[in-house]
Every structure is written in C-alpha cells, then in structure tokens.
Structure 1
Amino acid sequence: MIEVRVPDEQEGTKAVVRAWLKQIGDAVAENDPLVELETDKVTQEVPAPAAGVLAEIILDTDAEAVPGALLARIETDGVGTARTSAKAGVQLKQEEPGPRPSPGNSLHHETRLSPSVRRACLEHGIDASRIHGTGRDGRVTREDVDRAVASATVVSVGEPATAQPRQFSPQDIPHDRMRLAIAENMARAVAEQPHVTAVFEADFSAVAAHKAAMAARGQKLSYTAYIVKAAAQAMSVAPAINGRWEKDRIAISPTIDIGVGTALGEKGLVVPVVKDAGSLSLEQIGAKLDDLTRRARDGKLERSDVAGGSFTISNHGVSGSLLAAPIILHQGQAAILGVGKLEKRVVVREVDGEDAMLILPMAYVTLTIDHRVVDGHQTNAWLTRFVEILEGWPRA
C-alpha cells in the first residue's frame, strides 16, 4: 500500500479537499491527478505517487487538508477493493461514471465527474455535458461549474437546447472556497493589523522613455517590472518594510520576495511571488512576471509560486482606479504598495529657475503599513526613495 499525502509546501495556508478525480477501485497510473486541493490562493492537483488501484480514501470532499495529512492509499498489486476509512468512519463507494455528452458534443472528452462536481450540478440544475471542461483531458472541474453558474451561460437539465440561459442576479452568485478564504483573510488582517496609508505621486516619464527604448530593441517590459525593481531597491532605506510582526520581535526577511496581485475576474485574485527580486535584473523580473501571470490566468500555479512573499504590490490602476486606500495587508507582511492609474496630468515643475506647467505621465502611489511594525518616517522614507528611483531611471 502506497500512501498519498498532502504536500508539505503549504506555508501555513489552510487547504481543503475540493474534489476527488479518481474513485475507489479505479486504476491509476503514476503521476495521474488524484485529487484537487484548494486554498485561498491556488487550486492544486495531487498526483498519484505510484501506479496501482485507489484502494482507500481517507479525506473526503470538503475535509481540511493540513500539510502531511494522509489523503488516500494506493494498492500496487493490481487488486483494489473498497475499504472502510477508520478516520472518516464510513465506507466510501466507487462512484458510477457521470453523464455522457450528447452525440456531436465536442466540448470535452473526459466525462467522469467527481462527487463535488456532480453535487454542484444537481444543486444548480446544470447539465454537465454543456459545460466546457478545463481540467485534464477536458474534465469538468468544480471551478468550471462555479464559472458556469456565475456567468449563467448553461442550460438546465431537462430544458431544450434552444431554451434561454437561466438568469441569475448578482446577489445569487454562490461563494466558492477562494472567495470565502479571501473574505476570512481580509477580515482577520483588518482586525489584527492597524492599517495606515501614505500617499505620494510619481512621474513615470523616465520609465516610459526607458520602456520604449527597450521595446525598440525587441525587449518588451511591463510597467509592473519597473515597479517591482524599484520597490526592491527602496528596501535599503527602510528594511522593516520587508519585515513582519512577531510576538517578541520584528522579523526582517533575508530576501526580498515580492508578491504581485493578479486579478482572475469574478474568481478574485491570486498573488504569485517574484522570489529574491532584489538580486534580479529588470529583464529577469520581467520574464518572471510574464511566466507567473500567464500561469495564474491559466490556473496552473503551484503552491510554491504563491508562498513566501515578504512584500506585496497591488497595481490596481490597471483596472482604472486612481487611488485605493487602505489596501488590505497580506497577513504576515508589514506593508503593501498600491499603484494607481497612469495618466497624463498637468503639474507644476521648476524649469530654468521658474515655475512651469507641464503635462506628465503621473500616478498616485500608496504604501499601507502595519503600524505595529513601521512608523510614519520609515513609510515616507521608503516612498521617497521609491519615487526617486522611478523618476531618475537611467536612459536605455
């Protein structure tokens, strides 16, 4: 018997069993996805460590999955029988295959549904064969069902194919686990960490000129790459910004690991982390961001991609806001940077000893801090240095 356990690299984030992708008695190959685990940050498939037959499920759907916990056992002699789980106290039966798609339906190929998906389809009156599956081999996942419910683009079971889609009001969008976990973390952060926000503004003229010059050479970089680089460099004037509150001390992270909030539409957001950003070049940061952002939107982040951040950036201006304050702190961090919409504004600058009105690309930047960890002078020193780096970016 081979044990299947919850991965250890969980960084204290609570995980639950979202859906079993195989059932008791199913044959599995090594590295076949067995079960989906979900945290507030990412959904992860746990693969089979060996080939055999799934003989026992220990943690059923919706059970909490702590690092190292026993999930299941695989029998490697090729003979699988349903076993009684001592921990669950009930015998878990092999599920019958889910409904098959109608002839000609090419939306997905894998038609076996997990118990979680089947329950969700029954609860909302959804025909699973009409949902486009994004899981392995076109399998319909619980996220696919949640997305279908939220967008109201599926037809209910028993309705003719020509029927109008079922309409859902915004208030009727069901909470998924990611939204519930985000809500829990936000409420806890506000309750435990005294938030204070300072507001500066930054001229992005030098960054825009450098960005354009790099693009002309074939190196496309986002503004976020410059923001991450400048944030990492600014840590030298106020190291506690890269720290966290502990009961007996303020702990300063030995590396600058910067999380970047990435929106997932109605599903919320995730915060992939650029590890050791202080040691990376601008180009390396840009490449890391491109990779992390792409995998975040494809739902392919690993837990290690979202764990271990020491500082966070919310580039909320990409969706149009000029200012957001306070931006809720990520738990275990002392500060979060907010960057508003980059827009041309008329500002007064001194030119040749006289005041002049100039049109410049400007953005408001905020630093929200845990006031237990840092004070106003550290906050303002960090923001001052951050703005100086952006405005003084050397020519390419």
Structure 2
Amino acid sequence: MSIEVRVPTLGESVTEATVATWFKKPGDSVAVDEMLCELETDKVTVEVPSPSAGTLSEIVANEGDTVGVDALLANISEGAGAAAPAPKAEAEKPNEAPTEAANGASGGSVHVMVPTLGESVTEATVSTWFKAVGDTVAQDEMLCELETDKVSVEVPAPAAGTLTEILAPEGTTVDASAKLAVLSSSGGAAAQAAPAAAPAPAGATTPSTGKDIENAPSANKLMAENNMSADQVTGTGRDGRVMKEDVLKALTAPKAEAPSAPAAPRAPVPADDAAREERVKMTRLRQTIAKRLKDSQNTAAMLTTYNEVDMTEVMALRSEYKDLFEKKHGVRLGFMSFFTKACCHALKEVPEVNAEIDGTDIVYKNFVHMGIAAGTPTGLVVPVIRDADSMSFAAIEKAIAEKGKRARDGKLSMAEMQGGTFTISNGGVYGSLMSSPILNPPQSGILGMHKIQDRPMVINGEIKIRPMMYLALSYDHRIVDGKGAVTFLVRVKEALEDPRRLLMDL
C-alpha cells in the first residue's frame, strides 16, 4: 500500500513553498513522524514528518522545486521492508539521529545532526565542543553547543559509543540539516581502542579535580565569557557538577578583601595600544541585537514622549496585599503586573500602538502578546507573554517569573520570543532615571520604566514628597500620531495612580 506525503498547511496567506532539503532518499526506511524533508516559505521553515512507517519509494518534488499547499511531495510504501534495500546494520533507535552501517564487522555509525533550531532559523555556529575525537560518550551526554541569532542550543549524543569524527569544528557555521559528527555505536571494543590522550577542544575540558564530571554547557560558556576557571566556582549539581546558577552566584558574590599592603603600582612599560587591547568576537546573539536595533532606527520614524507617574497608590496596594497574594498564588506581587495591566488597558483605547506596518497595510492586533525585555549575561532578550490582556495579576506574575528564569538560564525557545505586539522594558532595575527605549520591530510601541525616586511634588497647593517614576513611550510615528502616543501614556499614568480604574475598566 502506498502512502502519499503532501505539503502541510503553511500558515495564513501562505500559498506556496520551496523544497529546501530532503533528509531521506528513495529506498530509505522511515519511521512514523521521522523528518522527511524541510520546506521554506517567505516567512517560516516547515518540517514535513513521515505520516507512516515504511520505505520511501519515490520523491516527487525535488530540492529547489516550488510547491503549493497539499501538493504531492513523495510516496511511501507501507509495511515492513516492502521495498526496502538489502539489509544493513541499523542504529538501535530509528527515531533519533539518522544512521548508516559501519564499514566493519560489527556495530554501526550514528550521525549527529543539527537539532531543530526553531521557526525561521536556518543556520547556527558551533560554539563549543565538550568532547574530542576518541572520547567515549553516553546517550544524551552533551557533545557540543550551537549558537543561533536568538538562543544557544545544546546537542546531546543520540546514542552511546565513541566519537569517531567531528565534521563541524568550533566556529563553523552550519545549516539546519547539517551533520555535526559521527559516533561509533559498536560498544566497548571501539571505546577501549579510543586514544586516551586525544586533545580536547579549547574550553571544553573539565577542571582537574580528579573527578570525571562534565559541567553544564551553559556554565562552561558563561565562565569562558567572564574569564573564570571552574575552580573559582562551587558546583551544586550532581556529583559537584557546575551549573549556570553556580557561575552567576560566583559572579555576584562579594569579592575577597584585598591584602592590607597594596600592591606596588606597575611600572609604565612602553607598548603599542594594540598590545593592551583585547579583541573578542561578538556572539551571534550580540550581532543580531546590534543589527535589529540599528534596523529599527533606520526603518521606523521613531519618536519618544515622556510623562511621570506617582507610584503612591500602587505601592500602598502592593504593601497591603503582597503577603496574602503570595500565600494564595505562590508568587510575589511585583510592579510588572500593574504596568502590564495598565498597558493592556491603554492599548484598547489606542489600538495603533499595538499595530504594525506590513507593506502598505496597517495590521491591528485584537490581542496583546506582551514582550517583557530581560537582561541576561549573554545579552538582551524579549520573552513574550501571550494573550496578556486576558490574564489575571497572578497569571501575569507567574508568567514573568517563569520567563525571566528561563531567560537567565538560557533556556528560552525561539517560539517564546516571537509574536510580541508591544514591549515593556524596565531600566529602573539597573538605576536608570530616564531613557529612550528603541522599538522592537515590527512593533510600533515600547514602554520604558525607570527608577522610583522620591521627589517634591505640589499636591493641592502643598509640597509633598512622593515616589515618582518617569515613563517613556517610544513609538513609530508612521502609524502613531502624537495625540495617540500622549493619550496612551496618560491612560497608563491614570491607571497606575488610581489602580481601581483597572478593576472598573475606566
């Protein structure tokens, strides 16, 4: 029986795609849901899984062909080996990395492939190898780490065996279907024959503590970025494994007191400036941040309007209910939920701030996917809280706490940082008193929060000390007029100065 493989639904308004890569060839055996090919549209990359187990008998649409929705891509012969090639030694787990028979008497070779990188991400850079050729690896043990323009991706071993070949060294840029390495899954024989003194890649070795412990890849990366060695960090993971949280703790810990006798000043040594400089290659994340921010300035007609808000009522409300709130909901009541609620309220009245430009069209969003900008050791990221306009205070606080932790740990997925319609950035946590935030394209508005500072204010003819915060709204003047921008910021101010307005939808 022949099973047809057809183009899946590509998304709203997308009618065609290009066949980018075939992962299988005619005659290959396939498992249910195993990836057959990858399609590219003008917006996203779509993976096509096998609808059935069997043998790929025919490829109808070749790489480079343009196909429409529901077009026939290939045919699969259903059943055990219906049209299968001559038997080969297969890898034990067909649903994991693609495999091929080894040229030898026993065992097989397992290919380590680039994992799924996320929607619209087509390439990555190999940042660190944690294993060297000849090393014995366990299944799911971390082999290497890849960097995309958004996130870091750890690559685990698809099977136990010996790392026999590294095809993509550190610094190599690989596409989404590339082969990274080859494992020999022949078991102990190959493992025992592995060279014991194989040189390890730079930055991949574990500390010489006498224990064969592989630190968390994210921890190794963070230590390298901060010129730290593992012996400066106390590992709290299993068997003393250093985790990313351990490195962050070490970075923020108070420094040891300097010796009582100050070190003698270094005598001036004639040297070129270049000899005293340090050149470090930008990470892909930092490169993307730089490009997107500059593109935003070049594309949008960006303007910023300012106001200030008296935080007295919000602070009093928070102080009164924070203990009950945390006891009932299991999360702290912060300021971000008030600002998120206030922005959602204002966006209903001024919908153009929640819209975006698509060519000559303005796309109004009848929902709020709120981006919450978060600083991490590797750069700024903006996780998105979807449908924030329909969430409670507790749900918003829980989502912000969870997304913030995942951002700091480098665990955010691509999907968690896409689709935002408006962004809030809180520079106040770093002490910023006033700033002009940059738009997060294609969004048309971003609210900048700042430090709460006591200032003398005239209240009913009397000077009183009030906790004040400056607010800044940067907006795209192409679709948001000055009146709309000012109105939005005033509505946010009103909601925060009298939080009861949020409950009354006023």
TM-score with structure 1 length normalisation?
0.72
Equivalent residue for 1:199, pick from 291, 295, 306: 306
Distance 1:71 1:290 in 2: 35
Equivalent residue for 1:188, pick from 289, 292, 295: 295
Equivalent residue for 1:45, pick from 131, 149, 154: 154
Structure 2 spans left out of the alignment, 5+ residues: 1-90, 92-96, 99-112, 191-197, 256-262, 267-274, 327-331
| Alignment partner, residue 438 of structure 2 | 328
| Alignment partner, residue 159 of structure 1 | none
Aligned runs of 1:348-367 on 2, under 5 Å? Answer: 348-350=458-460, 355-367=461-473
| Alignment partner, residue 87 of structure 1 | none
| Alignment partner, residue 378 of structure 1 | 484
Report if aligned partners of 1:109, 1:139 keep a CA contact under 8 Å in 2.
no
Q: Which has the higher contact order (CA 8 A, sep 6+)?
A: 1
Mark the CA change 1:130 to 1:216 in structure 2 (over 3 Å): closer, same or farther: closer
Equivalent residue for 2:406, pick from 260, 280, 295: 295
Q: What letter is aligned with 2:402?
A: D
Aligned runs of 1:172-251 on 2, under 5 Å? Answer: 172=278, 174-177=280-283, 178-219=285-326, 220-251=332-363
Mark the CA change 1:232 to 1:174 in structure 2 (over 3 Å): closer, same or farther: same
Structure showing the higher helix proportion among its residues: 1
Report if aligned partners of 2:245, 2:409 keep a CA contact under 8 Å in 1.
no
Distance 2:295 2:368 in 1: 24
Superposed CA offset, 1:270-319 (max 9, x none): 32222221121111111111222233333443333333322221111122
Q: What letter is aligned with 1:293?
A: G
Distance 2:317 2:383 in 1: 26
Distance 2:122 2:442 in 1: 11
| Alignment partner, residue 169 of structure 2 | 60
Q: What letter is aligned with 1:209?
A: A
Structure showing the higher strand proportion among its residues: 2
Distance 2:169 2:455 in 1: 56
| Alignment partner, residue 498 of structure 2 | 392
Equivalent residue for 1:312, pick from 408, 415, 423: 423
Superposed CA offset, 1:182-218 (max 9, x none): 3233222222222100111112222112211221425
Distance 1:234 1:170 in 2: 52
Report if aligned partners of 1:44, 1:303 keep a CA contact under 8 Å in 2.
no
**Cα shift at 1:174:** 3.3
| Alignment partner, residue 110 of structure 1 | 213
**Cα shift at 1:247:** 2.0
Equivalent residue for 2:368, pick from 240, 248, 256: 256
Mark the CA change 1:99 to 1:284 in structure 2 (over 3 Å): closer, same or farther: closer
Distance 2:176 2:234 in 1: 28
**Cα shift at 1:23:** 4.1
SS of the residue corresponding to residue 500 of structure 2 reads coil
**Cα shift at 1:246:** 2.0
**Cα shift at 1:39:** 3.7
Distance 1:127 1:340 in 2: 32
| Alignment partner, residue 94 of structure 2 | none
Q: What letter is aligned with 2:397?
A: G
Report if aligned partners of 1:41, 1:271 keep a CA contact under 8 Å in 2.
no
SS of the residue corresponding to residue 356 of structure 2 reads strand
| Alignment partner, residue 110 of structure 2 | none
**Cα shift at 1:339:** 0.9
SS of the residue corresponding to residue 213 of structure 2 reads coil
Superposed CA offset, 1:220-240 (max 9, x none): 311122112222222211223
SS of the residue corresponding to residue 217 of structure 1 reads helix
Distance 1:301 1:135 in 2: 22
Mark the CA change 1:131 to 1:300 in structure 2 (over 3 Å): closer, same or farther: farther
Query: Which segment drifts farther, 361-370 or 375-384?
Result: 375-384
| Alignment partner, residue 77 of structure 2 | none
Mark the CA change 1:299 to 1:139 in structure 2 (over 3 Å): closer, same or farther: farther
**Cα shift at 1:26:** 4.5
Superposed CA offset, 1:69-104 (max 9, x none): 5545556565998xxxxxxxxxxxx744866745xx
Equivalent residue for 1:337, pick from 447, 451, 458: 447
Mark the CA change 1:283 to 1:128 in structure 2 (over 3 Å): closer, same or farther: closer
Mark the CA change 1:148 to 1:59 in structure 2 (over 3 Å): closer, same or farther: farther
Report if aligned partners of 2:122, 2:176 keep a CA contact under 8 Å in 1.
no
**Cα shift at 1:139:** 6.8
Q: What is the aligned length? A: 358
Distance 2:317 2:438 in 1: 32
Structure 1 spans left out of the alignment, 5+ residues: 82-93, 154-162
CA RMSD, aligned part only?
A: 4.5
- Structure with greater Cα Rg: 2
